Amino acid sequence: MTMKRRTLLALTLATGLTAPGIALAQADTIKIGLLATFEGAFTVLGEDSERGAMTAVDEFGGMVAGKKIEIVKGSSDASPDSAVRAARKLVEQDGVKILVGPLSGDEGIAVKDYAKTHPDVTFLNGSSAAQDTTLRDPADNFFRFSTDGAQWMAGLGTYAYNDRGYKKVATVAEDYSFPYTQVFGFMAEFCKAGGTVPSKSWVPIGNKDYSSVIAAIPDDVDAIYVALGGADAVNFLSQYNDAGGQAPLIGGSITVDQTVLTAKGRMRDVLIGTPAAGPTADTNDSQAWKDFTAAYKKQDGAFPSPSLFAHAYYINMKAALLALDKVGGDLSDDGAKLRQELSTISFETPTGKVSLDSNRNAIADMYLTEVSEAADGTLVNKLIKVTPQVNQTLGIPTDEFLALGAVSRENPSCP
Amino acid sequence: MADASRSTPKPLSQGQGMTRRQGVGLGLLVLAAIFVWMVFAQWPDWLNAILISKKAFLSAILNGLTLAGLYFLVASGFTLVFGLMRNVNLAHGSLYLLGAYIGYEFAEWTGYWLLGVAAGFLILAVVGLVMQVLVFRRLEGDDLRQTLVTIGISVVAADLMLAYWGGTTYQILTPEWLSGAVQLPIVTAVRSNGTEVLLVYPFYRIVVLVSAIVIGVGLWALVNRTRIGAMIRAGVDDRDMLAASGVNVHVVFAVVFALGAGLAGLAGVVGGSALSVAPGEDVRYLLASLVVVIVGGMGSIVGAAIGALIIGLAEQIGLVYFPTYGVVLTFVIMVVTLAIRPQGIMGGTR
């Protein structure tokens, strides 16, 4: 008898514990997890990505399919384990069924692997842009409406070789998957055009003192390709300036982003004229981009122009909300309908049309830019050229592209 | 009689080569000669092949020295406070970061970088004084609680600074006369047309190195040549005895704490100008000064200098020659030091 009573008690307890979860899920709100780097070296980037995501939420008036959108924030510090920890907290404790994030490359790969363990949760990328988040061994429930770091480089290598006349370029980049992807994207075109890359420096993320790295760059290169982000880029650029840096720079997408261009420091001289490529251009004069900039600027602490992190989070959040709207906010089937909708959706963004390939990675327009001084003295990325509808394999047939091998410190190589 | 026989030098040792001391001296001399040759000679190709280039190698050494200067400024205050009060102040990194932010604000506000440096030192000295009076004096003799309280202070301070200054990276702008690069009279390469390429190095970093040496010598003189230094040294050796001989130890403690905190603040401004200021720097410099002090020996100024030199050089050389595993090198040095000489290179045996 006592046994039975105890079992009963346990059952009651268990029901009591799970019931609030069920009740919450059925309430008239839709919980969306927002995972970004609100701490560490990429704090500024994370803060701006939140502005981008909230711009999308505000565009929908905070409501989708008649339900209120509730954003639950999770913070990581750009390390993969912190991202998984934050994702786990959002999914397992807060019970979100849709998660937008993370921000940084290695984080994306880690969260993609975590996504496989929760097939009932729909993951949308934030701004992480490592190639293998979607190219090799993708997760069925991980969607990337922002593009990857190699796609972002579209047009840059050819431009550097043909228009700028750089034949020999050294690279300096952080030592993890996203900069590998960026260097790959740049070198794919640059080496094909006939250029050589005799020296590649990989530095730990969060490094402060770059002067030794700068000194180790060969004297005879025509330009230096830099793929560093946030505080790392600011440190490199101002120290390169102090060291009397002579060679012109070529920028990775996040190196000449608004998060760096607005930082306080002595680096204007080395930055102005730097060509780069990425998913956005500050001086894009299409009406859609202008509207997006205006909406973005309503957020607290906004930059003069949205960073690419704000842009990527905006697009992914918007995709989630558009698809949610289509399925009427119905997640009762563990989000199967939502994911079906997401994989076929195609929509106009501030930077042109976006659609997904079979690996759920975006195909979108890319912008070749050059850092220049705006009339009000701020630094902006001036639009030079648009490369339309770049896919993840950069126009190369998929099996041929896969044969190039996974990106790494050594791959590609053309000394 | 036994004493006399021990003190008489053994006649045999003169005929049989060198003593151990002479051997070490000769070895050091050879190393110094090789180093001087590496600095001034033109490198043969095989050496360039091993060490990337003469420019890369010498820059790494110079950067290691400047970084060592910075680490020394932070760690000297840390080691003094520990030596005297047996108190590991784990909020020391926060003092560095706060000093950097305050220096930035003052330099922006007044337009004079030197005022920023002075403000960083003075305000942090006052903060240190307040911490000593309000926190440490209350917890005197309770090491564990002091340590835990300082961890708490550092966490709260980090969040308060993040809330006020945000996550943006700040760069404290050095004045015109300190910026730019200078040519050092060291030839790094000879072009094919016979012109010599001289080593170019940021002027500000040389200034950092020189000021660290000046401050180091000043601290050494203060501790070893003045009355208050004698009190500090006496306090390091035996606090109770010092108090019993009529010295107000609390005043000595307060002065040392203020000095240590002020040095951390000064280092913050100087370091924030050479590198940059961002959240997370506090932990970085706390860790660096912990390693420096463990390697150099707790409570010794000379030890802090030696420790800073080793760690600074190891970090920069590691960054250039094996970037992926460079971080490990620092800790390998620490582990080896702990295994061979647990009290640190200059640490006394107590």
CATH of the domain at A157: 3.40.50.2300
User: For A32-36, A179-183, A252-256, B2-6, which range has the lowest pLDDT when averaged over its residues?
Assistant: B2-6
Q: Which two tokens mark A221?
A: 């290169």
Please tell me whether residues A141 and A122 are part of one structural domain: yes
Does A175 lie in the same domain as A78? no
CB within 8 Å: B276 and A242: no
Residues A49, A117 within the same domain:
yes
Distance from A225 to chain B by nearest Cα, in Å?
Answer: 18
Lowest mean pLDDT among A169-183, B134-148, B149-163: B134-148
Residue A260 and residue A141 share a domain: no
What's the domain range around A360?
Answer: 8-147+286-364
Distances (CA, A) of A27 to A22, A30, A66, A308, A321: 9, 8, 12, 34, 18
Which of B59, B197, B280 has the CB atom closest to A215's CB atom?
A: B59
In a domain, A384, yes or no: yes
How much of chain A, in percent, has pLDDT values that exceed 70? 93
**Which pLDDT does position B236 carry in this prediction?**
73
The pLDDT score that the predictor gives to residue A13 is 54
- Which of A340-349, B31-40, B218-227, B320-329 bottoms out in mean pLDDT, i.e. has the lowest? B320-329
pLDDT (tens digit, 9 = 90+) per residue, A11-26?
555 555 544 444 444 4
Q: Do A216 and B320 count as a contact with CB atoms less than 8 A apart?
A: yes
The answer as to whether B12 is a domain residue is no
Same domain for A377 and A257: yes
Residues A115 and A137 in one domain: yes
A50 plus A189 within the same structural domain: no
In this prediction, residues B179-195 reach a mean pLDDT of 76
What is the pLDDT at residue B5?
47
**What string of H, E and C letters represents the secondary structure of chain B?**
CHHHHHHCCCCHHHHCCCCHHHHHHHHHHHHHHHHHHHHHCCCCHHHHHHCCCHHHHHHHHHHHHHHHHHHHHHHHHHHHHHHHHCCCCCCHHHHHHHHHHHHHHHHHHHCCHHHHHHHHHHHHHHHHHHHHHHHHCCCCCCHHHHHHHHHHHHHHHHHHHHHHHCCCCECCCCCHHHCCEEEEEEEEEECCCCCEEEEEEEHHHHHHHHHHHHHHHHHHHHHHHCHHHHHHHHHHHCHHHHHHCCCCHHHHHHHHHHHHHHHHHHHHHHHHHHCCECCCHHHHHHHHHHHHHHHHCCCCHHHHHHHHHHHHHHHHHHHHHCHHHHHHHHHHHHHHHHHHCCCCCCCCCC
Q: Are residues A227 and A376 in the same domain?
A: yes
Q: Mean pLDDT across chain A, nearest whole number?
A: 89
Residue B18 included in any domain: no
* Number of independent structural domains in chain A: 2
Using CB atoms, pick whichever of A207, A231, A243 lies closest to residue B278.
Answer: A231
Mean pLDDT for the stretch of residues A129-147 = 93
Nearest residue on chain A to B162, alpha-carbon basis: A39
* Contact assignment for B275 to A208 by CB distance below 8 Å: yes
Residue B253 belongs to domain with CATH number: 1.10.3470
In a domain, A2, yes or no: no
Contacts 24+ apart (CB under 8 A), B5-10: none
User: How many structural domains does chain B have?
Assistant: 1
Backbone angles phi, psi at B212, to 5 degrees: -60, -40
Q: What is the ipTM of this complex?
A: 0.71
Q: Which helix (H) or strand (E) holds A72?
A: strand A67-75
- The answer as to whether B20 is a domain residue is no
In this structure, the answer to whether residues A235 and A373 fall within a common structural domain is yes
Mean pLDDT of B295-309: 88
Asked if A216 and B53 come within 8 Å (Cβ–Cβ), the reply is yes
pLDDT at B251 over 60: yes
Let me know whether A140 and A12 are in one domain: yes
- pLDDT digits over A44-99, tens only? 889 999 999 999 999 999 999 889 999 999 999 888 999 999 999 999 999 999 99
Structural domain that includes position B302: 51-172+183-340
Look at residue B346 and tell me if it is in a domain.
no
